[in-house]
Every structure is written in structure tokens, then in C-alpha cells.
Amino acid sequence: MSIVVRNTPRADKAVVDAFKDYGVATVHEAQGRVGLLASYMRPVYRPAHISGSAVTCEVAPGDNWMIHVAVEQCQPGDILVVTPTSPCEDGYFGDLLAASLMSRGVRGLIMNAGVRDAATLTEMGFPVWSKALFAQGTVKETIANVNTPIVCAGALVHPGDVIVADDDGVVVVPLEKAVEVLAKSKAREEKEAGVRKRLEAGELGLDIYGFRDRLAAKGLKYVDYPAKG
């Protein structure tokens, strides 16, 4: 049996929106180096940077029927996250579905498969992260679940989790940790701003982070060229 879950929770809108100030790398670090989708998830155009609340959607291989079902569950500020039930790179999504999502205020698509109409999506400015660009059409025969937990490109996503996506890829923040991770992201960014100034001024990370003693303790030796291999 397949189900569509309605009225799923979402994080506070101000929290979700505030994540857009932070890059995927920062959020990933802030929540303890977890939550990344696989590196094959690439944006259709660059630069692109969004945050939003996840609506999750399973699809059968070569079958995009459930995306139409999922669209109805999307609200302004959402990001649609779709994964096939087995690996597939067909073109599940194109300009018409993008028009539909845009009309509902959806901020982007995370598609663990292929998409098409890449040029039009770029013109429309609808941000999409996908596994492939491929024109291959899909059928509408098999149902699956909407708004149940899914594993998408190696990451567990629950409906309502916060998604952040940029040129580096996609990260998922569990709904219940959103406030905490946002605060940590902010703290990290501020700390990095200070370090960056010192680096730009020519200071070395070796000194700023105090690595020299620990490296020596590990046994690192400095020798002059020519060295004995």
C-alpha cells in the first residue's frame, strides 16, 4: 500500500529562511559533519543557493506519476525531494512541473535521478539538483509514497527536515535540530570570518591553529632538498 501523508510538520519559517545565509559546507560542519547527499547531486545551473522544508516523494524507476501527487502537498517555502525506488537516471522532471512548483512557491527540487529541459529551467531560474541531465521520458503507471521518510542519495530525509543546497551539493538538517544547527552555523561563520582575515594577512594555519607541536609529536620531520626518498 502506498500513502500520501498530509499536514506534515515544518520548521519555523524564520529558521528555514535563515539557513539560506549559510553554505552547505558550513551547515554540514555545524551539525557535526553529517547529513550530506552524495557528491553526484549537482545543480543544473550555478550559482544556486536555497533553503526550504522537505516534501519527500518516492517514484518508481522510469515513472514520474508520484511527482504530480507530491506537488499538491507542497507549500510556499518547500523544497521537493524525490528519489526513485531503484537507481534510475531518466528525465523525471522538466519545465512544466517546474512551472507548477513555482506557482506554489516551491523553492527548488532535489532529484536523485535525471531531469530534462535544463536550458528552460535555467531561464526560469528554478533551482534543481540532480544525478543526471537526460531527456528520457517517463510513464505514469506505478504508485509510491509521498511524505514518508526516504533515503535520498545516501541521506535519510523526513518530511519537514530543512534542506540547504548550493554549488557544493545538498545537506539535510533534521527538523528537530534546525534551531540548534542554525545557531551553530552562525557561530561557525563568525569564527571563520576572523580566521580568514588573519590568513589573508599572511598568517599561516599552522600558527593560527597551533598545529606545529602536534605535527612534531606525530613524527613529522623537515629536511632540505635533496631528500633521501
CA-derived radius of gyration, the chain: 21
What distance in Å separates the CA atoms of residue 106 and residue 126, rounded to the nearest whole number? 9
Closest distance of CB 175 from a second copy, Å: 12
Of these, 14, 190, 213, 218, which contacts a second copy (CB under 8 A)?
218
Q: Compute CA distances 5 → 81, 106, 108, 137, whole Å.
A: 14, 18, 20, 27
State in angstroms the smallest separation of the CB of 89 from a second copy.
6
For position 24 contacting a second copy by CB under 8 A, the verdict is: yes
Mark residues 58-77: x for contact with a second copy by CB under 8 A, - for none. Answer: --xxxx-x--xx-xx-----
Shortest Å, Cβ 14 to a second copy: 22
- Which residue from 12, 13, 39, 180 is in contact with a second copy, where contact means CB under 8 A? 39
Q: Verify binding: residue 5, a second copy, rule CB under 8 A.
A: yes
Residues 6+ apart with CB under 8 A from 100: 71
Residue 92 parent element (H or E) = none
| Residue 191 binds a second copy, judged by CB under 8 A | no
- Site map (CB under 8 A) of a second copy, residues 105-134, x = contact: ---------x-xxxxx-x---------xxx
* Residue 210 lies near a second copy (rule: CB under 8 A): no
Say how far apart CA 205 and CA 227 lie, in whole Å.
Answer: 25
Return the residues of window 88-107 that contact a second copy according to CB under 8 A: 88-91, 94-97, 99-100, 102-104
Per-residue contact track with a second copy, 139 to 168, x per CB under 8 A? xxxxx---xxx-x--xxx--x------xxx
Alpha-carbon distances, residue 39 vs 36, 78, 130, 131 (angstroms): 8, 22, 10, 9
